[in-house]
C-alpha cells in the first residue's frame, strides 16, 4: 500500500471535502476525455475489472479495504502552513471509496471475506478503482447513439458534465457553510417533522455532524498515537512501544524482534507496522453511539433511529444493478454499514455532502414536500438578500420588486442600485432530481429550463426595458420610474441568478447549451451560482468595486469561451488573472485547480489555522484609487472603478503606476510655465470602449489643469477610437497623501 512515513511529521486531518480542487481537476479530466471520446479504455475492460474487484472483496474483509482507503486516501497532513494539498494515496477520492462500498453491499454477507487485506491486495484494489470510471464511461459511450451528429455529441457532453459532477464532486459549499445553510433552511420546519417522526431535521443534522466529528477524532487519535510511537530512534524501542501502546496488538515483541532480518532498517519496520496498525482503522470508523447521543442531547434510541436512516446492512444492495452505482450511488444518502448494533462509517462526511437530499426525502415521506418547497423559495430569497446587503452596504436594494409590461405583471426578486450600476438578481429554488443528477437528457433539459433559462429570461426582460427607457420609450420609462430607477443615470446592468443546488458546471456552458438547443440562441445567460458560492464570492471579494467587476466580466467571458470549471474556479481565475486571458473566442478554457488557494483558506479556517484571505491581484496604486473611490463615492464611481480595473492584469497595472511615477519626476523637473503635455493614456485591455488617461500637474499648474485634462482626453479618444475616457489627475505636491485629486469620465462627442 502506498504511504509516506513523512506524514507523521505533521498532524493528520480529514479534509471536508477532501482535495476539493484536485477532485475538480479529476472531473475536468474525465469531462475532456468524454467529449473527445478518446479514453484509451475499452468497454470490455469494465466487466473484467468488476469481476476482479468482487474476487478481492470475497477474499478479504471489505470494511478493512474501505477503512484503509478512507484513512489514507482522504486525509492530508496539517503543517505550519495549514492544510496540505496531497493525500497519502495518490488519485483516490471520496467517490472511489463510496463506489467500493456500494459494490461490497451488493454482495450477500456470506460472500464477504473475513481476513484483513494484505498490502498487495490494497494496492490492486486501488488500481482497479482508478480504472473503473474510465471503463464505465467507455461502456456508456458504446451504448450511446452514434456521436457523428454534432447535436447528439453536444447533448452527450452536457450529460457527462452533470453526471461526472454528481459522481465526483461532493460539496456545494464549505463544510461549515453547508451545515449553517441547512440549519437555517430547516429550522422553521423542524417542529412539523418532529411531530410526525419523533425527531426533527435539526436532530438529523446534529447526529450526522457529531458522527463525522467523533469518527474524525478517533482516527486522528490513532494517527497521533502512531506519530508518537514512531518517534523511537531504535528498532527495539519502536517495536516494544508499538506492542505496549497500540490497541489490538498481541504477541511477544521479543519474538517479533528475533524474526527480523539483520539488514532491515527502522523505516522498513515502520512501514510494516503501519500495515499491521491499519487493521485498527475499522474499529476507529465505528460510530460511538452513546457519545454522539450525549453531544446531541438526544436519547440513544433516537440517535440509533437516525443512524439507521443513513445506514445499510450487508447485502442491502444485492438486488441493485451495479452499473447504477456510477450514476446514483445509494451510499450517498446511506454511507453507514450496520452490523449488529455497530455503525461503520468509512466516509461519514458523505452524509453531510448529501444531507440536503436526505432531509428532502424525509419531508417528502412525511407528507411535507409542499411546505419544504415553499420554505426553500423563501429561504433562498431571504438569504440572498442578507448576503447582498452585507456585501453592498452602500446600495439601494429593493426586494420583490413588482412591475408591469405589456399587460403582464412580473416580479424581480432583488434589484440593487449601486451608484450608476444596477444588479438584477433572480432566485430559483427548484431542486435537482435524482434523474437529473444522473444525466437523464429530458430531466437535465427541464432543470436547465427551470434553473437557468427562466431566471435568465426574466432578468433579460427587465434589462431590455431599461435599454428602451434610456432610448426614450415612454412606457419603459414609466416602468423604471415605478422601480425607483432613473434610466439616464444608469450606465451598467449586471444580471445574476442564484440557486440552492449547484448548477455551475452546466450554466457556464453557454455555447454548448445553445448548440444543443436547450436555451434560446439570442438569450445571454447571467452568472448562475448557488447560495453557498455567492456567500464565498462576496466574502473573498469584500469590496464593492471588485465584486461588481467580477460579476460583470464573469458573464462576458462565459459567452466568449467554452469553459470547464466550477464557480470557485472562476473566482480563483479572477484573483490570479483579473480575467486577462488574451483571445478566448471559441476556445476551450479548462480551469480546474484555480480554486486551490480559496479552498485551502476555508479549510484552514475550519481547523482554526490562521490564513491570509486570497485577494485580487491589483497594484498598490490601483488599489489605493479604488479605496478612495469607495470612500468618497463621487457620482459615477462604480463605472470609474470598473474602467480603471479594465486597464489589465497586474503587469499592465504596474506598467501604468511606474509610468505615472516617471511622469511625476518629469513634472517636478519642469520650469514654471513650461509648455508640455503632462500625461499619457492606456487603452483598456478588458473593455473595447474605454481609454484611461493619467495626468500629473504641479501646484503652479493648478489653474490650467482642467483644460490640460480635457485636451489629453480628446487626444486619447481620437487616437484610440474608443468612446469613453476615464481620467485620473494627480498633483505632485500631494502625491504621497492622496491617490488622485480629480477623477472623472469624458464621453466621445
CATH value at residue 484: 3.40.1350
Q: Look at residue 15 in the predicted model and tell me its pLDDT.
A: 37
What letter does residue 610 receive in the DSSP assignment?
A: -
Q: Does residue 601 sit within a domain? A: no
Residues 275 and 352 in one domain: yes
Residues 728 and 645 in one domain: yes
Out of 520, 550, 580, a domain closes at: 550
Query: CB neighbours of 576 closer than 8 A, spacing ≥ 6?
Result: 594, 617
Whole-model pTM above 0.75? yes
Q: Look at residue 275 in the predicted model and tell me its pLDDT.
A: 81
What's the mean pLDDT in 448-463?
92
**Integer angstrom CA distances of residue 386 from 396, 429, 453, 513, 617:** 13, 16, 25, 31, 27
Output the nine-digit C-alpha cell for 517. 438547443
d(CA 421, CA 636): 9
Residues 639 and 496 in one domain: no
Model confidence at 465: pLDDT above 90: yes
Q: Look at residue 80 in the predicted model and tell me its pLDDT.
A: 53
The answer to whether 215 and 301 are in contact (CB under 8 A) is: no
Nearest C-alpha neighbor of 735 from the set 652, 661, 627? 661
Helices 45-59 and 94-105, axial angle in degrees (round to 10): 70
Residues 77 and 142 in one domain: yes
Q: What is the average pLDDT value for the chain, to the nearest integer?
A: 86
Q: Does residue 13 sit within a domain? A: yes
Phi–psi pair at 635, nearest 5 degrees? -55, 125
pLDDT tens track for 254-304: 898 888 888 888 988 988 888 888 888 899 999 999 999 999 999 999 999
Residues 351 and 403 in one domain: no
Residue where the block lists cell 485591455: 685
Q: Look at residue 250 in the predicted model and tell me its pLDDT.
A: 82
Q: Does residue 578 sit within a domain? A: no
Residues 300 and 272 in one domain: yes
Torsional sign, CA 142, 144, 146, 148: negative
Q: Does residue 528 sit within a domain? A: yes
Residues 209 and 354 in one domain: yes
Sheet with 492-499: list strands edge to edge: 396-405, 408-418, 421-428, 492-499, 527-530
Model confidence at 216: pLDDT above 80: yes
Model confidence at 404: pLDDT above 90: yes
The domain total for the chain is 3
Query: CB neighbours of 140 closer than 8 A, spacing ≥ 6?
Result: none
pLDDT tens track for 111-143: 999 999 988 999 999 999 998 877 887 777 676
Residues 219 and 129 in one domain: yes
Residue where the block lists cell 505615472: 660
Q: DSSP strand E in 525-638: where?
A: 527-530, 562-564, 588-590
What's the mean pLDDT in 525-533?
91
Model confidence at 744: pLDDT above 70: yes
Pairing of strands 527-530, 492-499: parallel
Q: In three state form, how does the secondary structure of 34-64 look?
A: HHHCCCCCCCCHHHHHHHHHHHHHHHECHHH
Range of the domain at 151: 5-361
Pairing of strands 527-530, 421-428: unpaired
Out of 328, 361, 394, a domain closes at: 361
What's the mean pLDDT in 156-173?
64
Model confidence at 78: pLDDT above 90: no
* Helices and strands counted in the chain (H then E): 32, 17
**Integer angstrom CA distances of residue 299 from 191, 198, 295, 303, 738:** 18, 11, 10, 6, 64
Q: DSSP strand E in 60-131: where?
A: 75-79, 82-87
Model confidence at 339: pLDDT above 90: yes
Q: Does residue 568 sit within a domain? A: no
**Integer angstrom CA distances of residue 430 from 421, 446, 530, 579:** 29, 11, 12, 31
Residues 648 and 500 in one domain: no
Pairing of strands 588-590, 562-564: parallel
Position with higher pLDDT, 33 vs 667:
667
d(CA 62, CA 74): 17
The answer to whether 611 and 604 are in contact (CB under 8 A) is: yes
Q: Does residue 668 sit within a domain? A: yes
The answer to whether 422 and 639 are in contact (CB under 8 A) is: no
Residues 182 and 298 in one domain: yes
For the ranges 19-23, 731-735, 742-746, which has the lowest average pLDDT?
19-23
pLDDT tens track for 488-500: 999 999 999 999 8
Enclosing H/E stretch for 471:
none
**Integer angstrom CA distances of residue 180 from 185, 352, 383, 529, 535:** 9, 11, 11, 18, 12
The rounded radius of gyration (Å) of the Cα atoms in the chain is 30
Total Cβ atoms within 10 A of residue 151: 10
d(CA 275, CA 226): 12
Binning the chain into helix, strand and coil, the percentages to the nearest 5 are 60, 15, 30
d(CA 743, CA 741): 7
Paired strand residues for 695: 679, 729
Residues 519 and 631 in one domain: no
For the ranges 186-190, 342-346, 647-651, which has the lowest average pLDDT?
647-651
Q: Does residue 588 sit within a domain? A: no
Q: Does residue 561 sit within a domain? A: no
Q: 3-class SS at 679? A: strand
Furthest-apart CA atoms within the chain: distance in Å: 99
Out of 310, 328, 361, a domain closes at: 361
The answer to whether 194 and 206 are in contact (CB under 8 A) is: no
d(CA 568, CA 173): 10
Residues 81 and 134 in one domain: yes
Nearest C-alpha neighbor of 69 from the set 25, 117, 137, 20? 117
How many residues are listed for the chain in this entry? 749
Please provide the distance, in angstroms rounded to a whole number, between the alpha carbons at the two ends of the chain: 72
Q: Look at residue 146 in the predicted model and tell me its pLDDT.
A: 46
Pairing of strands 342-344, 336-339: antiparallel
Burial of 77 (0-12, 13-18, 19+ CB in 10 A): buried
d(CA 350, CA 95): 9
Amino acid at each position: 500500500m502506498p504511504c509516506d512515513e513523512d506524514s507523521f511529521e505533521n498532524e493528520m486531518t480529514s479534509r471536508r471535502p477532501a482535495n476539493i480542487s484536485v477532485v475538480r481537476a479529476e472531473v475536468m479530466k474525465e469531462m475532456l476525455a468524454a467529449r473527445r471520446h478518446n479514453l484509451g479504455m475499452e468497454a470490455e475492460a469494465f466487466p473484467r475489472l468488476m469481476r476482479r474487484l468482487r474476487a478481492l472483496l470475497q477474499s478479504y474483509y471489505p470494511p478493512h479495504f474501505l477503512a484503509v482507503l478512507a484513512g489514507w486516501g482522504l486525509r492530508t497532513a496539517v503543517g505550519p502552513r495549514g492544510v496540505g494539498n496531497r493525500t497519502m494515496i495518490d488519485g483516490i477520492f471520496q467517490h472511489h471509496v463510496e463506489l467500493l462500498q456500494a459494490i461490497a453491499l451488493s454482495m450477500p454477507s456470506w460472500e464477504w471475506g473475513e481476513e484483513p487485506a494484505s498490502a498487495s491486495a490494497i494496492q490492486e484494489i486501488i488500481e482497479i478503482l482508478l480504472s473503473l470510471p474510465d471503463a464505465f464511461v467507455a461502456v456508456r459511450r458504446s451504448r450511446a447513439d452514434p456521436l457523428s451528429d454534432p447535436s447528439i455529441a453536444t447533448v452527450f457532453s452536457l450529460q457527462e458534465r452533470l453526471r461526472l459532477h454528481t459522481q465526483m464532486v461532493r460539496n456545494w459549499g464549505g463544510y461549515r457553510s453547508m451545515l449553517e445553510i441547512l440549519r437555517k433552511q430547516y429550522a422553521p420546519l423542524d417542529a412539523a417533522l418532529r411531530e410526525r417522526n419523533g425527531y426533527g431535521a435539526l436532530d438529523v443534522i446534529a447526529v450526522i455532524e457529531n458522527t463525522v466529528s467523533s469518527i474524525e477524532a478517533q482516527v486522528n487519535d490513532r494517527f497521533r498515537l502512531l506519530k508518537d510511537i514512531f518517534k523511537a530512534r531504535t528498532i527495539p524501542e519502536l517495536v516494544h512501544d508499538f506492542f505496549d501502546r497500540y490497541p489490538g496488538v498481541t504477541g511477544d515483541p521479543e519474538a517479533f524482534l528475533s524474526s527480523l532480518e539483520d539488514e532491515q532498517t527502522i523505516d522498513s519496520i515502520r512501514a510494516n507496522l503501519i500495515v499491521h496498525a491499519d487493521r485498527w482503522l475499522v474499529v476507529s470508523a465505528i460510530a460511538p453511539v452513546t457519545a454522539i447521543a450525549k453531544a446531541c442531547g438526544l436519547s440513544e434510541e433516537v440517535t440509533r433511529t437516525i443512524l439507521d436512516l443513513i445506514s445499510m446492512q450487508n447485502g442491502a444492495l444485492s438486488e441493485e444493478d451495479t452499473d447504477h452505482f456510477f450514476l446514483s450511488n445509494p451510499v450517498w444518502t446511506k454511507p453507514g454499514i450496520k452490523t449488529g448494533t455497530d455503525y461503520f462509517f468509512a466516509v461519514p462526511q458523505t452524509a453531510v455532502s448529501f444531507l440536503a437530499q436526505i432531509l428532502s426525502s424525509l419531508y417528502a415521506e412525511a407528507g411535507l414536500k409542499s411546505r419544504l418547497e415553499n420554505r426553500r423559495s423563501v429561504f433562498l430569497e431571504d438569504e440572498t438578500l442578507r448576503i447582498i446587503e452585507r456585501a453592498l452596504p452602500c446600495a439601494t436594494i429593493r426586494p420583490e420588486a413588482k412591475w408591469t409590461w405589456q399587460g403582464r405583471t412580473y416580479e424581480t426578486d432583488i434589484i440593487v442600485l449601486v451608484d450608476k450600476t444596477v444588479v438584477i438578481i433572480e432566485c430559483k429554488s427548484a431542486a435537482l432530481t435524482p434523474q437529473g443528477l444522473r444525466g437523464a437528457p429530458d430531466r437535465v433539459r427541464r432543470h436547465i429550463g427551470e434553473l437557468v433559462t427562466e431566471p435568465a429570461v426574466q432578468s433579460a426582460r427587465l434589462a431590455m426595458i431599461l435599454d428602451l427607457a434610456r432610448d426614450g420609450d415612454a412606457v419603459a420609462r414609466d416602468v423604471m420610474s415605478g422601480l425607483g430607477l432613473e434610466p439616464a443615470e444608469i450606465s451598467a446592468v449586471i444580471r445574476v441568478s442564484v440557486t440552492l443546488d449547484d448548477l455551475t458546471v452546466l450554466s457556464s456552458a453557454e455555447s454548448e447549451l445553445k448548440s444543443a438547443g436547450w436555451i434560446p440562441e439570442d438569450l445571454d445567460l447571467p452568472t448562475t451560482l448557488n447560495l453557498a458560492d455567492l456567500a464565498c464570492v462576496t466574502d473573498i471579494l469584500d469590496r464593492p468595486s471588485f465584486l461588481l467587476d467580477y460579476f460583470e466580466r464573469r458573464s462576458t467571458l462565459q459567452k466568449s469561451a467554452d469553459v470547464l470549471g466550477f464557480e470557485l474556479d472562476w473566482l480563483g481565475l479572477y484573483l490570479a488573472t483579473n480575467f486577462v486571458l488574451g483571445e478566448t473566442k471559441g476556445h476551450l478554457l479548462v480551469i480546474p485547480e484555480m480554486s486551490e488557494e480559496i479552498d485551502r483558506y476555508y479549510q484552514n479556517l475550519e481547523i482554526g489555522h490562521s490564513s491570509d484571505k486570497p485577494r485580487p491581484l491589483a497594484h498598490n496604486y490601483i488599489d489605493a484609487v479604488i479605496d478612495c473611490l469607495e470612500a468618497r463615492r463621487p457620482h459615477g464611481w462604480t463605472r470609474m472603478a470598473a474602467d480603471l480595473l479594465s486597464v489589465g492584469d497586474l503587469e499592465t497595472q504596474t506598467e501604468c503606476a511606474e509610468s505615472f511615477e516617471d511622469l511625476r519626476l518629469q513634472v517636478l523637473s519642469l520650469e514654471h510655465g513650461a509648455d508640455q503635455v503632462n500625461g499619457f493614456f492606456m487603452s483598456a485591455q478588458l473593455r473595447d470602449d474605454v481609454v484611461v488617461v493619467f495626468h500629473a500637474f504641479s501646484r503652479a499648474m493648478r489653474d490650467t489643469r482642467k483644460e490640460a485634462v480635457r485636451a489629453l482626453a480628446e487626444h486619447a479618444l481620437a487616437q484610440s477610437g474608443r468612446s469613453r475616457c476615464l481620467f485620473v489627475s494627480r498633483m505632485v505636491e500631494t502625491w504621497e497623501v492622496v491617490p488622485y485629486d480629480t477623477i472623472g469620465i469624458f464621453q466621445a462627442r
